[in-house]
A = this chain, B = another copy of it.
Amino acid sequence: MKVTVWNEFRHEREHEEVRSVYPNGIHEVIAEFLQTAGFEVGTATLDEPEHGLTEDVLSQTDVLVWWGHMAHHEVSDRIVDRIHQRVLDGMGLIVLHSGHFSKIFKKLMGTSCDLKWREAGENERLWVVNPNHPIVQGIGETIELEHEEMYGEHFDIPAPDELVLVSWFKGGEVFRSGCVFNRGQGKIFYFRPGHETFPTYYQEPVQKVITNAARYVAPVKRDKPVYGNAQPLESL
């Protein structure tokens, strides 16, 4: 199984505060723990040609992980369409944190994907509300994050097909933090945590959720459904 970790990779190069947490970029940290978990892993970033997501790379990717924030608008519509088609054709997609506002997530959701936010470094506690879900295998009742950006409801998404995690924030908000969506033959997992100034992706339970999710959203091997004009299967 092949996972491609895509990262905007701008904050880490432009902001010392972020670089000190993720010196080689968020993608390298995510790629490393996924590799350790046994996946074949590649990375891709915004400033590579075609954002590193050529037809070739995508066609060989089973699961794409997406982290973006400050440069969503710089992602080319052509590449977004390509990713979109691959998801409908079965590629899994894991959208992290500020990726809620990425072109690809909004295109797949059909909504604004807007939310409340606050950068106060408050603590977040993610509660498992779906205790038989494979994505929380090995996870306790909660995931505790000492410092995170707050995201609050209303989160303008379609009702998720599976709601797995709900966050509590010190400042008074709640948030649907772990959400599964099916679109076409593809599975999508949105996972809230991961502000660039905090070492969230070094936390073991966060890594476990993303690892479990990579397995969960992996393509199911089936022929694509046939669309278009159809002969009757019974006599008319």
Q: Which residues of A approach B to under 8 Å, CB–CB? A: 88, 90, 107-112, 114-118, 120, 122, 125, 127-134, 136-142, 150, 152-156, 158-159, 161-163, 166-174, 176, 181-187, 219-234, 236
Contact = CB atoms under 8 A, between A and B. Distances in A.
Contacts of A107: 110
A233 B132 contact: no
Contacts of A116: 226-230
A174 B127 contact: yes
B111 A183 contact: yes
7 contacts: A109-B110, A117-B229, A132-B182, A132-B185, A139-B222, A172-B233, A172-B234
A120 B235 CA distance: 11
Nearest to A168: B174
Given A117-B228, A173-B233, A225-B128, A159 B168 contact: no
